[in-house]
Amino acid sequence: MVFVDTNVLVYATLANAPRHRAAVSALEAHLGQPRWISRQVLREYLAVLTRPASDGSAVPLATVLEQVELLQRAFVVADEDARVGTELCRLVATVPVAGKQVHDTIIVATMLVHGIGLLLTNNVEDFRRYAHWIEIVPLDRWAS
């Protein structure tokens, strides 16, 4: 089982993204096993893709919503129930974090509650503090 971070999905979606090929290759490499995301990842994906790019362009909302529907069918979506909240508090007490780092901690808490040990991400440094609990699979492994 592998949990897929938002950035991998965004890169896989945007053909002009610098890590597009690596993201597509990484997702294809994990086709034979359950690929997980969470409601948080879906929210982040929606937020990132509807934000105008530096050149003023944006992905049309209808396209983003269609992609979200496809993701929900292609991935196992982990719910963020009370167990995740409990695990989040335990992790924050163990590995002090603050501000936006809490979002990464929620991902790790979700993974631990659902028994997912691998995280596919481009943000390796953001998750390194959790390497005691999860294995971080860097997107760069598929860069050419």
CA dihedral 34, 80, 124, 30 (to 10 degrees): 10
The whole domain housing 20 covers 2-142
Give the number of domains in the chain.
1
pLDDT value at residue 28? 93
Whether the predicted pLDDT of 1 surpasses 80 = yes
Query: Full-prediction pTM beyond 0.85?
Result: yes
Two tokens, residue 80: 């963020």
Q: How far is CA 131 from CA 6, 82, 91, 127, in A?
A: 19, 23, 12, 7
Whether the predicted pLDDT of 55 surpasses 70 = no
Q: What is the CATH number of the domain that holds 22?
A: 3.40.50.1010
Strand duo 118-121 + 76-78: pairing: unpaired
